[in-house]
Amino acid sequence: MRLEKLIMSAALALLFAAPALAQDSVRLFNTAKAKLLAGERIVGGTVTTSDPTIYCAMATSGYDFLWIEMQHSPLGFQDVARMIWACRDAPAMPFVRVAGATAGDIQKAVDMGVVGIFVPLVDSAEEIADAVRFAKFPPEGERSLGGGQYRALWGNDYRSIANDNILVVAMIESPLGVERVREIAAVEGVDGLFAASTDLGSFSGLRQGMPEYEAMVEEIVAVAEEFDLWLGGPQAWMDRPAFSIFQGPSDTGLLRMGVERSLAESPTGVAEIEGSGD
């Protein structure tokens, strides 16, 4: 009888441990999220043009992710899908700032294979709850199982591991968003908060460095720490230790910096062979 009880106890222990073991064994293909989980910081360049060559150059130059800009650029979903596919083996993960927390914007983005969603102008818990709902498959959300290139990019097991790989980040851009940031952070499935440096100033009429402005940033920082969320901001804020996700310059800005550096360095001597830098 004692042996039977021991066997039963062992069986029950394995039964209750199975979900935890399954969770631990989830394949994490989102290398940017893996770095965050390891306590590292991640940086992404901003993509505003539809040229796959430029996208691939940025995706293979050292960035952890690319911030594909679909709120303030003419980029369409077909443009973005082609760029992601053209550089599908690049180390930089495809993230998108969508135009809004709508089913169409978010579900199209994740169907393209995007693994990070920045949601702009979040002023309420309801907005970010919608974003989580549309980004995640059931039971965590209501993402429908449609077509797309996500399986070809990330594997046939995508359906079972997508929720664990996709990041959803709420952008706090206004005083109202700051006022409600605790409610926003409390939404189940939110992975991070992003302090939108430019629009915090634009909506408030304040400038970085002013006590009132910095108080808004400090409130976002405090709430992110309280809810154990990752915190994002501009690359210029890498000197702020609480931040771990950074938006880098745009493709056009990087091109300008590259030209300025090329002219300043004025290479001399043996000329490079044409095409050797591709």
State whether the Cα torsion 258-263-269-270 is positive or negative.
positive
250 in catalytic set: no
At 248, the amino acid letter reads G
How many angstroms from the chain centroid is the CA of residue 79?
19
Of residues 170, 17, 1, 154, the one with CA closest to residue 89? 154
Measured CA to CA, the distance from residue 123 to residue 208 in angstroms comes to 21
Query: Are 136 and 161 within 8 A, CB to CB?
Result: no
What 3-state class would DSSP assign to 20? helix
Find out whether the peptide bond into 139 is cis, omega within 30 degrees of 0. yes
SS3 sequence of 59-90:
HCCCCCEEEEECCCCCCCHHHHHHHHHHCCCC
The single residue of 72, 159, 207, 256 carrying the catalytic annotation is 72
Alpha-carbon dihedral 236, 242, 244, 246, rounded to 10 degrees: -20
In eight-state DSSP terms, residue 174 is S
CB-CB neighbours of 32 under 10 Å: 25
Measured CA to CA, the distance from residue 128 to residue 191 in angstroms comes to 11
At 173, the amino acid letter reads E
How many angstroms from the chain centroid is the CA of residue 29?
13
Query: Are 231 and 221 within 8 A, CB to CB?
Result: yes
Measured CA to CA, the distance from residue 223 to residue 202 in angstroms comes to 22
Catalytic positions = 72
